[in-house]
Amino acid sequence: MSNLVLSKLAASQQGSEIVKLGNAISERIRNGEPIFNYTIGDFDPSIFPIPKAFEDAIIDAYKHHYTNYPPADGIIELRKSVSEFLKDWEGLDYAPNEIQIAAGGRPLIYTIFKVLVDVGDKVIYAAPSWNNNHYTNMNHAEHCVIETSVQNNFMPTANDIAKHIKGTTLICLCTPQNPTGTTLQKHVLAEICDLIITENNSRGEGEKKCYLMFDQMYWMLTYGTTEHYNPITLRPEMKAYTLFVDGISKVLAATGVRVGWALGPAEIMVKIKAILGQIGAWAPMAEQKALANYLPQTENIKQYLTHFKAAMEERLVAIYNGFMALKAKGFAVDAVAPQAAIYLTIQLDLAGKKTPEGKLLSQQTDVTEYILSEAKLAVVPFTAFGTGNSSWYRLSVGTCKTSDIPVMLAQLESTLEKLI
């Protein structure tokens, strides 16, 4: 037993459950086990490379020796490009001094929490959702967790938030959502915005406001008739209270390139810049130069997205249809129709059944392990995203080959047939 004494944060902070699971799966694959690894929200670059023009621009930037420190808030060329990009694609009007560049979304979320949330402050977030529980814990804030359901596409409602908004410092929304791949409906987002505006109007001068952290990292990856909405377009007054988190990690399959941005009121962005400057979580200079040159290439981006989104949707729909076919056969599985992002929400409601050897799948962890061992299907349980003992899972298609889908579904059906 170690007698090592560290900080209270170190004692209480848990590592990423998703990364831990992904590492365990990768180890099994390295040992020769054939697994359909649909756990990590990442891409196989051999299947989904970044845009060629963007790749060429990165290489060119390195050849021109852009390898020094960038400014703490990001190079002005990129902030101007992001500003124009947002106007052209989403109708958002943010000046360069309202934009903060960083090494992806994670340091931006971390810093938004650090700028807004004090010890004991109340933070509202939904379960399942990505990492809000960890960031709240890092700030020793009060967790206000809204348990969502499939009936609401695993999204919080305005009524859910209204019960807790008094005294709240930060509300965290992500749409399209990680892990569910579902989106927040227009009227629901508008109602939540109205709640925040009303609450802030009721607070006195000098009293901390209630802010919205709006993570829209997947907003360009919507399918079918699904539309993405943002708070500012619906309620312009929300600009004073909204901190956007956005970037290229998902929309350009550029998770390892590490360029993201936050948008918000200039006086808040100055503080975010100050903290990020101490952390040094900057996007690399060459990647910033390259993206500044790439973002204005509207037709190039449209062509890339046409292919990329079609490939994502093809995989999501194929797996969804496969699960619906299994459900129609009477198996205890389900799925939510694809809406956005790179994720499919699936259900494996198998707890209580027995394996052919007579072993009872008494808990959902037993189900997860059984499906992995027998069907060779690796997916992430919603418990890794802050829920209780849920039978729902995130399935990520960023590493999925279309040729694998029929094989995976056949193995899953065979595995389900064996249960008693």
C-alpha angle 277/283/287, rounded to 5°?
150
CATH number, domain at 207?
3.40.640.10
DSSP 8-class letter at 340 = B
* Cα within 13 Å of Cα(233), Cβ side: 14
Which residues form the domain of 154? 66-297
| 237 token code pair | 């007054």
pLDDT at 14: 76
Task: Indicate whether 111 and 44 sit together in one domain.
Answer: no
The candidate with the shortest Cα–Cα distance to 120, out of 165, 161, 167, 160, is 167
Is position 75 within any domain? yes
Residue listed under structure tokens 């359909």: 36
Are residue 71 and residue 199 in the same domain, yes or no? yes
Q: Looking at the domain assignment, is residue 59 inside a domain?
A: no
Residue 295, pLDDT score:
98
CA distances from 89 to 136, 195, 246, 264 (A): 32, 27, 13, 18
Confirm if 25 and 378 have CB atoms less than 8 A apart: yes
CA distances from 94 to 121, 243, 248 (A): 28, 12, 18
What is the reported pLDDT for 2?
61
Residues 43 and 74 in one domain: no
**Displacement of CA 306 from its chain's centroid (Å):** 21
Residues 218 and 116 in one domain: yes
Number of domains the chain is built from: 2
Distance separating alpha carbons of residues 392 and 173, to the nearest angstrom: 20
- The CA dihedral of 137, 143, 149, 153, to the nearest 10 degrees, is -70
DSSP H or E segment with residue 191: helix 186-201
169 phi and psi angles, rounded to 5 deg:
-95, -40
Could you tell me if residue 87 is inside a domain? yes
**Whether residues 232 and 100 fall in one domain:** yes
Same domain? 144 vs 232: yes
DSSP secondary structure string for all residues of 7-41? -HHHHHPPPPHHHHHHHHHHHHHHTT---EE--SS
CA–CA gap between residue 117 and residue 156 (Å, rounded): 21
CA-to-CA dists, residue 298 to 20, 184, 222, 253, angstroms: 38, 27, 18, 17
The verdict on residue 390 lying in a domain is yes
- Partners of 394 in the β-ladder: 345, 380
Residues of the chain with pLDDT under 70: 1-2
Q: Does 55 reside within a domain?
A: no
DSSP state of 127: E
Helix pair 266-279, 105-116: axis angle to 10 deg: 120
**CATH number assigned to the domain comprising residue 372:** 3.90.1150.10
Question: Quick one: pLDDT at residue 50?
Answer: 98
Are 43 and 132 within one domain?
Answer: no
Query: How far apart (Å, rounded) are the C-alpha atoms in residues 89 and 84?
Result: 9
Q: Provide DSSP, 248-276.
A: STTTTT-TTT--EEEE--HHHHHHHHHHH
